[in-house]
Amino acid sequence: MATDIQLVREFKSIGKDHLGYQGQQLAEFIERSLSEHKQQVARIQAEEKAREKELELARIQAEEKAKEKELELARIQAEAEEKAREREHTLAMERLRLEVEFRIGEESNERPESPSRRLEDRRPIQISMPMFNDKEEIVDNFLTQFEKLALIQ
């Protein structure tokens, strides 16, 4: 571009010297046109830069949104897995309770209701606990009961 300006200036001086007033007018017109062209090029380049920045910003925002959605999906999946584990645990405990009730019924020569019927009732099991004198006896008894329940299952 610098060479264009030099050429226009040379043409302007030549036009003034050899072509007179019309040559000078033509040189000034070319100089103005070149200046306007440079301004247009600068404006277009600035607009392109702004578009590139907007596209980059949009890309970054899209990536952040995708990461947020991935995190949300992972959180939802973790919650669903936790609920499934809780349901499995609840069902296992219910089966264990029913099995204990059934065995207690067998030991006392009673015929309890069917396990499926008991599951519908969902009545809590009533186990009488003997009185203990200290905490160690309570813990020992609990562990013994828990081990028995685990063996039944």
pLDDT of res. 134: 64
pLDDT per residue as tens, the chain (153 positions): 556 667 666 766 665 666 677 777 777 888 888 889 999 999 999 999 999 999 999 999 999 999 999 999 999 999 999 999 999 999 989 888 888 888 887 766 555 555 555 555 555 555 555 565 666 777 777 777 777 776 665
> In sequence order, which ranges of 108-134 are alpha helices (DSSP H)?
115-121
CB atoms within 10 A of CB 38: 13
Q: Where are the domains of the chain?
A: 2-152
Q: Within 13 A of 34's CA, how many CA atoms are on the CB side?
A: 15
**Sequence-ordered list of residues with C-beta below 8 angstroms from that of 92, at least 6 positions apart, any chain:** 153
pLDDT of res. 113: 54
pLDDT of res. 89: 92
pLDDT of res. 41: 95
Tokens at 101, concatenated: 């009730």
pLDDT of res. 19: 64
Q: Which strand (E) or helix (H) includes residue 83?
A: helix 21-107
pTM: 0.41
